[in-house]
Structure 1
Amino acid sequence: MKHIIRLVMAAAVLLLFMVRNAHSEKLVQKTIELPADKPFEPFKLLFIADVHRRVIQADLIDFPVDIVIIGGDLVEKGVPLERVAENVKRLMAHAPVYFVWGNNDREVDETSLRKIFDQSGVIVLDDQSVPLFGNEQLKLVGLDHFAYKPDGFGNAFKDVKDHDTVLFVSHTPFDFWKIKGVFSADLLLAGHTHGGQIRIGPFGLFKKGSMKVKKEQIELISNGFGTTTLHLRLGAQAEYHVLTIRPKTKVVR
């Protein structure tokens, strides 16, 4: 009987720990250099993905940033649109906000969600690129992966030139292998996997989020900010990122 009680108590403690992890987050800060034919002023980029049901607290960002990118799954079915609007408002208070669609975002009414974005000034990247800070050679490319358009990549990169410095964002990192040749980019951003969300030691449904350099490209996969289905986390802490991005002399590809 004592063993059963101890087991139950241990399970309860673990469950509370996982709930706590699901409602706390870590700020990850990195400084990176991107190749640039035309130098740009260093800037701070905040990347947040997979908010899902969570509330973004007003004091989450107490430091200056120059641009905010939402990497999809800002919302999911059952989340009040008022909460989404408030989350967007709190991000917009700090810097211009750019958004790409995730697989859960369209579980709510897309028209209403787009209305929130329009009213707030959020720039939705529907398979397109935009220049940043008035620099035509510094481009942010956003892919609407889950629209499953056969020409999505072509449209997203159609205005990107060979010598541009390119930041690419998709909700899913499973697009990263396609970023080569005519679709080349220097910094790749994604979420979606939640880092496995619940990991037993080194084992999880997906790999833990990380930043890696592969073939002169920097790939950032975030563990994400929120949770879905099971609102628990273990071994894959919720996180959001601030990247200080500086230019360096571009290597010919």
Structure 2
Amino acid sequence: MTSDVTAGSDPLGRWHRLADGAGGSVLLDGFHALKHAVRFGAEVPVAVTTDRRAALALADELAPDVRDALDALLTEVPQAVYAALVPRPHPTAVAALALRPSRAANLERLARAPRVTPVVVLDNPRNLGNAGAVIRLAAGFGATGVVTTGTLDPWHPTVVRGGAGLHYATAVERLTVDELPAGPVFALDPEGDDIRGVRLPDDALLAFGSERSGLSAALRARADHLLALPMRPQVSSYNLATSVAMTLYHWSATGGAPHVP
């Protein structure tokens, strides 16, 4: 069924109706974000570019699997119009609005059992770019989802930009610690056991504290195991996305494997 925002042949009108809605639209900033969102099933009512030929040439080179879909979606607009639609124009001069997945669908995906890949939990993260990088990593490893606690919105436009549209390849939600899905919680902490001696199960929740203050008391109390990443003495910490990458790699190298649906 065609909704009101997708009906008709006025792409700029559709853009403004979606953008003025109550949080239901997601800005896909750049060719790669649009490519990934389409590839992983996002509903994209409107997409614009200043140069259709260049955008479709990128699709021919980098994403032939979604080339036809992009051809049908993309509307060419003048540079001034494009610049007025997006707060920070992307070098590829492509932008789109997608519909955000329903919370109910994401919660169902997170709760599904048996779970065949871990859930990444970011406990009260503060940096929007780090959160986007983590979502991109989690999608690459086939993680079931990324959950954030605290005030950061994991669907903030800066997070989506950092995630390159890969929010649609995994379940991304903000929950409280009490709402986390079932499963053993392995939380990263400098005082934990060396991760190299532990095999991480596929149904694990892999929890990471905030960049500034580490694990919250609530998440620490929920943890079943505390694990530490190998680190040279006198080095204080790793970047959050680096810690997630090391942990997911350890999971994949010790029995887990990226899930291909």
Question: Normalising by the residue count of structure 2, what TM-score does the alignment of the two structures yield?
Answer: 0.28
User: Which one scores higher on RCO, CA 8 angstroms, separation ≥ 6?
Assistant: 1
Structure with bigger strand share is 1
Question: Normalising by the residue count of structure 1, what TM-score does the alignment of the two structures yield?
Answer: 0.29
